[in-house]
Amino acid sequence: MDALLPKSRRHLTPGELGRYRVLVGSTLLLTATSLVLALSSALGVNGGAPLVKSGTGAAIGFMSILVYLRAGGVLRLGALLVCGTMLTGYLLTTFLMPRQIVASHAASLLIPLLAVYLMGVKAGLVFTGFICLNSGLLLPLYQSGFGSREPIFANTQAWIAGALDSLILLLGWGLSSLFGIARDEASATVRDSERKLHSLLESTADPVCSLDEQGRLITSNTVARKMFQEMYGRELRPGTELDQRSDPVVQEQWRTSLRRALRGESVRFEWVRRSPQRTWVLDVALHPMWGEGERPVGVTLFGRDITERKEAEAKLGELHRGMMEVSRQAGMAEMATGVLHNVGNMFNSVNVSASLVLERLQGSRTASLLRASELLREHEANLSTFLTEDTRGRQLPRYLSTVSRHLVQEQEELLTEMKELLRNVEHIREVVSLQQENARVVGRVELVTVPELIDNALRLHLDSFERLGIRIQREYAEVAPLPLDRHRLLQILVNLLGNARHALAESGRDDKQLSLRVRREGEEWLRIEVEDNGVGIAPEHLTRLFSHGFTTKKDGHGFGLHSSALAAEAMKGRLRCESQGKGHGARFTLDLPLNARETPA
């Protein structure tokens, strides 16, 4: 029957589509019945030539109505034509075959039933009235010749039969009307629920649709249709199968998720659609629709376009990697500052030692010794006479002894300065070597002895601590080496030690003290504490201490503690600060997991 309807009529609501199907089916049935009546009358079975013409005319009329409906005709007009043709054929038949049995034929009841179903109660009453008028009044009058052949009421049986036929037709119309009214009320309730559901679905900015057991579309909201049009370049209509043009991997993911949903599971996954112009990412949730017997008969699809969120996450990841690189560079700069400061101090000492050595060498008495040796060579022939009789010769041994003692003393002093010079050069080499050793690529995980790394970081600041008179107290518990990112941990330690140095330098205290502690905290954490008795931190600043750009130092950039917090988080750890307020120092605590490896960047 749908094949006899235009495509535009095949996507109507179930109620309207059902009326069209009934109209087409009844018209086909009536066409066949009319042709059978005409053929049987032509063969002389009943009725003769008049019924041949009546049946043929009715069949032609019904076929014309089918052509009208196939061309996109309106339902109400088509129904009116069908019911009118049936009524006309029925009336002609009753007068061509003026017998009461024809008037009470069961086919006559089909007219009001179709009229009520297709056009409503009032239209059905009009058609029923014509049939009742024919059966209860016109046919008995026609049979009596309108009183010319016999008295009008002589055939009481015909009048009673006509009245009973009319009553039965009215009862049929009444029952059909009651059914139609109940159906219309139910349809109105369903339509009202559909409107509310449609309003609810249309009010959301997310795509929503329902699918049957084969994954074909049943209904969808405007957002889903618009998104489908953008993705696939075609309209989303009922009966369409979703995801026919995606990548094979995505199609397989879709089929697997659909099968799981039809087994009664709620499934959630990300649906990726790529095109040359752009890429869509949807967060899709499939939920089963339950039918009778607790059996899934379809699925509902709820989607959310998370393309922008994914792009933002990618940008955020790139920004995070950039911040970590800046953090690495900031840590390297902090380390380089410490190295240059220490190396600069050592170079001052090297310069002093070199100047002293140069001054001593310039004032050395080796030239006097040379003159004494030349004097001895001049009197080599009469050396004994020269040493005993000549005034200069008698003073020469005492002079040589004095010069020798001065040279020995000078040698000792030069050796001392050279040792100090060598020690300073060795210190410079160690500092540079330490910086090179710790300048590793971020993200490399290796076994790290934490106390040793703390001492390495401390050595980068050691000269500053000694110059400021800061007393260092170490409390290291024995801990096994941990798989950590050496650079990240060193970066945190350098920042914390640098902050402590600044806090102690600004405090003006005579008893400056820095405490370093390492201990296990339960079975899960290794705790590192850096505590100073410096200027302290105001309570209102504690909550913002690790925020990007926040600093209380005049020349600070507000990045050190923020980058340290990020580095601690990257190692699955946590960094926090405690302070009793201004003038009461501060304690920074770094907790690192004992049993969990960090994820390399």
Cα–Cα distance, 43 to 254 (Å, whole number):
64
- Looking at the structure, tell me whether residues 188 and 54 fall in a common domain: yes
Residues of the chain below pLDDT 50: 441, 597-601
Q: Last residue of some domain: 147, 174, 199?
A: 199
Which residue, 217, 313, 277, is CA-closest to 208?
217
Helix, strand, coil share of the chain (percent; to 5): 60, 15, 25
- Looking at the structure, tell me whether residues 49 and 125 fall in a common domain: yes
Sequence letter at residue 78 = G
- Alpha-carbon torsion, ordered 107, 111, 117, 120, to 10 deg: -160
Q: Last residue of some domain: 379, 407, 437?
A: 437
- Looking at the structure, tell me whether residues 445 and 432 fall in a common domain: no
pLDDT at residue 509 in the model = 86
- Looking at the structure, tell me whether residues 46 and 170 fall in a common domain: yes
Q: Is residue 385 part of a domain?
A: yes
Cα–Cα distance, 538 to 550 (Å, whole number):
13
pLDDT at residue 592 in the model = 92
- Looking at the structure, tell me whether residues 142 and 38 fall in a common domain: yes
Q: Is residue 81 part of a domain?
A: yes
pLDDT at residue 599 in the model = 43
Q: Is residue 527 part of a domain?
A: yes
- Please give the residue range of the domain that contains residue 244: 208-305
Q: What is the CATH classification number for the domain harbouring 279? A: 3.30.450.20
Show the CA angle centred on residue 542, arms to residues 540 and 543, nearest 5°: 85
pLDDT at residue 427 in the model = 60
Number of domains comprising the chain: 4
Residue 452 makes CB contacts below 8 A (sequence gap 6+) with: none
Sequence letter at residue 59 = A
Mapping DSSP to helix (H, G, I), strand (E, B) and coil, where does residue 223 land? helix
What separation in angstroms does the CA of 210 have from each of 295, 297, 306, 328, 379? 16, 11, 21, 52, 127
pLDDT at residue 23 in the model = 85
- Looking at the structure, tell me whether residues 342 and 293 fall in a common domain: no
| pTM of the predicted structure, to 2 decimals | 0.41
Token match 């009329």: residue?
Answer: 61
Q: Environment class of residue 395 by beta-carbon count within 10 Å: exposed (0-12), middle (13-18) or buried (19+)?
A: exposed
pLDDT at residue 101 in the model = 59
Q: Is residue 507 part of a domain?
A: yes
- Looking at the structure, tell me whether residues 417 and 487 fall in a common domain: no
Cβ-contact 268, 303 below 8 angstroms: no
Q: What is the CATH classification number for the domain harbouring 541? A: 3.30.565.10
- Looking at the structure, tell me whether residues 253 and 265 fall in a common domain: yes
- Looking at the structure, tell me whether residues 299 and 373 fall in a common domain: no
- Looking at the structure, tell me whether residues 86 and 179 fall in a common domain: yes
Q: Is residue 397 part of a domain?
A: yes
- Looking at the structure, tell me whether residues 171 and 128 fall in a common domain: yes
Backbone angles phi, psi at 547, to 5 degrees: -75, 150
- Looking at the structure, tell me whether residues 195 and 172 fall in a common domain: yes
Q: Is residue 314 part of a domain?
A: no
pLDDT at residue 368 in the model = 72
Q: Is residue 24 part of a domain?
A: yes
Which residue, 2, 40, 49, is CA-closest to 21?
2
Q: Last residue of some domain: 403, 437, 471?
A: 437
Strands (E), 29-164: none
The pairing of beta strand 471-476 with beta strand 513-521: parallel
pLDDT tens digits, one per residue of 544-567: 888 766 676 666 555 678 878 888
Q: Is residue 407 part of a domain?
A: yes
Cα–Cα distance, 488 to 564 (Å, whole number):
8
